[in-house]
Structure 1
């Protein structure tokens, strides 16, 4: 497989955008339940995956989000974030698969829904296993109470991504960018 300079630059750009949107302090809401935080970085992952495909979705989602966790001091979540957000981007890109041009709105909606649900499930599994081993005082009730916040994070990110993509697809920006 040949990686073009343009694809490499777009992947790096989307990784940086995922990092910036996830990292920006005023876009973060701390989770008192599990010592994590809610953010809208998933919107950037969703956009990257739909526009540039599953591989870029995986790299931008995993690495961009991991870097945000490390820089903001959420080291305990960094390994899970790399995997969970990477898989999220991969799933979205695979479902949206735009080999025949722009994916339909329905395909985009299904893709971001599946990716958002994977994110919620991935963090639930990580918190219920690894975080509880590290912090035995963290109860399952706290982990379960974190699910609605993650669902809201995924839903808000999905809406933002779909609105942003609608605007992008109506302009020549995407056509010129992806040529």
Structure 2
């Protein structure tokens, strides 16, 4: 894998504008140099929605959903491994840290397996968690286009990958 020049991770609650922000960010880069890693629900909506429903109804366990989420991330990362800039909608580690904290149905062994899989993905695709300069932007009074511009300005705009 080539050394990547940049990783942008967009995190936030459901409906706050992660996908819209990513679409606004893409406009500032040469698209052939940018890989987009979508959240599983956007990458594979039919299966993702079915699994969420099944977990909610007690038909399926959260462990199965978490394995599916990581599979979606890994497929996309593999498909974008040669891109210079990667924009990720929600870091894979959030799968275990956010979505599994209240779920008591996963065994310790299952949690460990998911955590180890995340670690391997981070290592293979250079996504080590907490190894980044973070920048938080309030989305209360700005559009995704506004905060995309603020972010790029703040982070120094990598000109050679721009349009």
Structure-1-length-normalised TM-score: 0.35
More strand by share: 2
